[in-house]
Amino acid sequence: MLEVMKCHLCGKLAMIVRDGGKRTICCDQLMEKLVEKNKEVHVPVIKGEGNHIKVVIPGVADPMRSDHYIEWIEVFDGPYLQVKGFEPGDAPQAEFTVSSPQVKVRTYCEEHGLCSNRPSKR
Ligand SMILES: [Fe+2]
């Protein structure tokens, strides 16, 4: 699973496509590996059946405000990854075409971190 790393000094977020076994450094310090949570306010809700789903993120205003908004939704569908980015003012939801509604979905907000309907083990 793609790991998300965060620098707490500059706020940089990095997605690790392949772990080379070395430490990930930013601003001369270790970046933190974000842990997927499923007990936070933004656990993605999947609606729909078949090949067309709507992912709705609870716990945030609709439209989203600049002081608290979902930055992206990721849908992991077998070997495929779909990502939808958001800005303040957007609705916290997106539609995706998938092979099955049994997909893993992750989302991120700055305040609550990385939330998933099926969190990976650490
Ligand atoms: Fe949040």
Per-residue pLDDT tens over the stretch 36-79: 998 889 999 999 988 999 999 999 999 999 999 999 999 999 99
- What pTM does this model have? 0.91
Asked if domains 1-34 and 36-122 share a fold, the reply is no
Residue 56's pLDDT is what? 98
The second-level CATH assignment, the architecture, of 1-34 is Single Sheet (2.20)
Q: How far is the CA of 20 from the centre of ligand 1 (A)?
A: 31
Fold annotation for 36-122: Immunoglobulin-like (2.60.40)
Q: How far apart are CA 94 and CA 52, in angstroms?
A: 11
Residue 122's pLDDT is what? 58
Residue ranges per domain, the chain? 1-34, 36-122
Q: How far is the CA of 111 from the centre of ligand 1 (A)?
A: 5
pLDDT at 1 exceeding the cut of 80:
no
Q: How far apart are CA 64 and CA 43, in angstroms?
A: 16
Q: How far is the CA of 115 from the centre of ligand 1 (A)?
A: 9
Mean per-residue pLDDT for 5-21? Answer: 94
Mean per-residue pLDDT for 95-116? Answer: 95
Q: How far apart are CA 117 and CA 44, in angstroms?
A: 6
